Amino acid sequence: MINTQRLTPCLWFDDGAEDAAKLYTGIFKNSKITATTRYTEAGKETHGRAPGSVMTIAFTLDGSTFTALNGGPVFKFTEAVSFQVSCANQQEIDYYWDSLSAGGDTKAQQCGWLKDKFGLSWQVVPNNMGELLKADDRAANERVMTAFMKMKKIDVEALHRAKAGDVSDEKK
């Protein structure tokens, strides 16, 4: 299979690349691990890894290619980079939120962001978020933004109610 995607994110893990690739390909449909490379004796003085241990895992998530590298504890994920998951409905939001956040951190997150158990940040949002935040009606935009900023996991129905002018909290 020839990769026609020009840019491929490379995710640096201490030693969890294979576990992460298995988790992510198990969550997203149309996903698979496509290649595994292993460390050799060459460069051991630099990489310090046991020959035969996993160096990289190439995988696709719903058609997008990624590489995961076991590079050691030098670099960590930060919120400065995240992956957005666009969802068609609340059921998808719930599925991806619950699947990706299992064992991770959602406490300090808001606006659909979460950290998975590897510390990688994801934002799970409705695919019509741009429509909901359109500034054609400034008052509606303010209501949606106010509701959105209070959410951890996105509640699509609450955003639609806010856009329509219903700002009651009765259906949290």
Each residue of 152-169: pLDDT tens digit?
999 999 999 999 998 665
- What pLDDT is attached to residue 109? 84
E strand or H helix at 136: none
Among 14-23, 128-137, 154-163, where is mean pLDDT lowest? 128-137
Q: What is residue 51's predicted lDDT score, i.e. its pLDDT?
A: 93
The SS3 call for residue 112 is: coil
DSSP states along 21-46: HHHHHHHSSS-EEEEEEE--STTHHH
pLDDT band for position 43 (cuts 50, 70, 90): confident
For 25-135, list the strands marked E by DSSP: 32-38, 54-61, 64-70, 82-87, 113-115, 121-126
Find the angle CA(102)-CA(107)-CA(109) to the nearest 5 degrees: 95
Query: Which residue segments constitute the domains of the chain, with CATH numbers given?
Result: 10-70 (3.30.720.100), 82-164 (3.10.180.10)
Between helix 90-101 and helix 17-27 the angle, nearest 10°, is 160
Sign for the CA dihedral angle at 58, 84, 26, 18 comes to: positive
Task: Specify the 3-state DSSP secondary structure of 167.
Answer: coil
Percent of the chain scoring above 90 in pLDDT: 79
Question: pLDDT tens digit string along 76-101?
Answer: 999 999 999 999 999 999 999 999 99
Q: What is the DSSP letter of 171?
A: T
Half-sphere exposure of 47 (CA within 13 A, CB side): 20
